[in-house]
Amino acid sequence: MRPAVRYLQDATGNSIAYTVHGQGPNLVLPAWWISHVEKDWDHPSYRSFLEALGSHFRVVRYDRPGVGLSDREVASQTMDSEVRLLADVIETTVGKAKTSLFAFSCGCPVALAYAAGHSNRVEKICVYGGYLDGADIAAPDIRAAMVGLVRAHWGAGSRALADVFLPDQSREEIDAASRQQRDSATAETAAALLELTYEMDASAVTSSVTSDLLIIHRTGDRAIPLNAGRKLASIFSGVAFVVLDGRAHPPWVGDSDSILKPAVEFLTGQSYPGLQSTKNSDVSFFDVDTRTLVLPDGKVSLTALEFGAIQYFVENPGRVVTRTELLEHVWKTPFAGSNKVDVLIRALRKKLGTHATRLETVSGHGYMFRGDS
C-alpha cells in the first residue's frame, strides 16, 4: 500500500512532505539529492527496498525544501539548514523517542552532524554510499562543470547524472530517472542542491558522534567514489566498513539484498531473512533487482516496461486490468496514441512461453492474469 503523504512545517515556515510506513523501531532516512515521496514509490525496485525496510522498522522519509511535494519556492539551503530540517522531521515523526538513521549519499554528512548534536536521540547510524567531505567526490573542475551543465540545461544535466547513478541500467531506466529528476525539481534548485552536496563537510563534528556506525559502499560507485567511503570509515576507530560489488549508486538498484542484510542486521541485531521477491510463486516470481521472470522452465529477462506490466498483473490476479490502467501504471500516461499496449502484451506472452495462456484478453475490457494452475 502506498504510504499516505503528510506535511509538517519546518523552522522557517516551509511545508515539508513526508511519509511513515512499516512497524518496528524508528528509522529515519535523511533526505538525499532529489526525491519525490509519492512518485518514488512507483519504481518497483525502490518500493521493494522500502517495503523490506518497513517489515523491520517504522520508516520515515521526506522531501527536502525545493523538491518533490515540499514547498518549491524556498531560500537557499545550507548544511546547517539541512540538519535543522532533519531535527524538525524527527521531532514531528518520532517525538521524544530514539531513532536510528539510514543515510544515503549526501544524507550522510547531515546524519553525522545531527547525531553529533543529539547523541541522546540517535541509537545507530547506517551509511550507504556516503562521504565526509563533498570535496572528495570529484575534482573541482568536474564539480563546477556538472553544476554548470545542470543549471544551463537541466535536460542534459539530469541525463548526465542518471548515467552516473545508473551506469548498468537500460536506456529506458536512465530516461525514466532523468525525467523523474526534472519532474521533482527545477534546474536552479537542482544546481543549488548539487553545489550544496559538494560543499557539505562533516569533518568538524566527527569527534562528537558517539552512536554505533556501519558504513557500506559499492566498489564501482561513480557518484560517490569508494575512496570517499574509505576516508569516512578511517575517521571512526573500529567502525565496520562493508565493501560490496556493483556500480549503481542508489541502494535499491542492483543487488539490494547485499545492502539490506548488513544494514538490517546491524540496526536490529537480528538476522535478515532476505528480500521477498516472489509473488504467486506457484505461477512465477521475480528477481526484482535484475528484472528477471523466473518460470519453472527457466529464467527470462524483461525490459523495464515488461517488468512493470507483468508485476502489476501478478499483483492483481483474477482481476480485469484495463488498457487505461496499464497506460497509467506502466507509461504514466492515460493516453495511448499507438498500439503500444498490444505490442507489450504480445511480447509478454512470448516471454511467458507455455504460461502465456494465463494472460487472457477480456474482449472490450482489458486483460486478466490467472495466478492459479
First to last CA, the chain: 27
Are 39 and 90 contained in the same domain? Answer: yes
Residue 240: which of 81, 127, 362, 122 has the closest Cα? 127
Whether 222 maps to a domain, the answer reads yes
Q: Is the domain of 21 the same as that of 60?
A: yes
18, 62 contact by CB (below 8 A): yes
- The answer to whether 104 and 64 have CB atoms below 8 angstroms apart is no
In this predicted structure, what is the pLDDT of residue 372?
53
- C-alpha–C-alpha distance, residues 68 and 74, integer Å: 13
In contact, 90 and 64? CB cutoff 8 Å: no
Residue 255 shares a structural domain with residue 330: no
- Tell whether 142 is covered by a domain: no
Asked if 215 and 354 sit in the same domain, the reply is: no
Residues 213 and 339 in one domain: no
pLDDT of residue 60: 98
User: Where in the sequence is the domain holding 264, given as residue range(s)?
Assistant: 6-133+201-268
Give the domain CATH number at 92: 3.40.50.1820
Using CA atoms of 9, 14, 18, 24 in order, give the dihedral in degrees to the nearest 10. -40
Cβ count within 10 A of residue 338: 8
Which amino acid makes up residue 195?
E
Question: Does residue 80 lie within any of the structural domains?
Answer: yes
The number of residues making up the chain comes to: 373
**Nearest residue to 17 (alpha-carbon basis) of 57, 54, 62:** 62
- 336 alpha carbon, distance to own chain's centre: 29
The whole-number pLDDT of residue 280 equals: 40
Do residue 24 and residue 51 come from a single domain?
Answer: yes
Taking alpha carbons only, the member of 34, 6, 36, 32 closest to residue 21 is 6
pLDDT along the chain (373 residues), means of 10: 93 95 97 95 86 95 97 92 97 96 98 97 98 97 98 97 92 88 96 98 97 97 97 94 96 91 96 59 57 77 87 78 81 68 90 85 77 53
Q: Across the chain, how many H-helices and E-strands are there?
A: 12, 14
Residue 242 lies in a domain: yes
pLDDT reported for residue 355: 82
| Amino acid identity at 55 | S
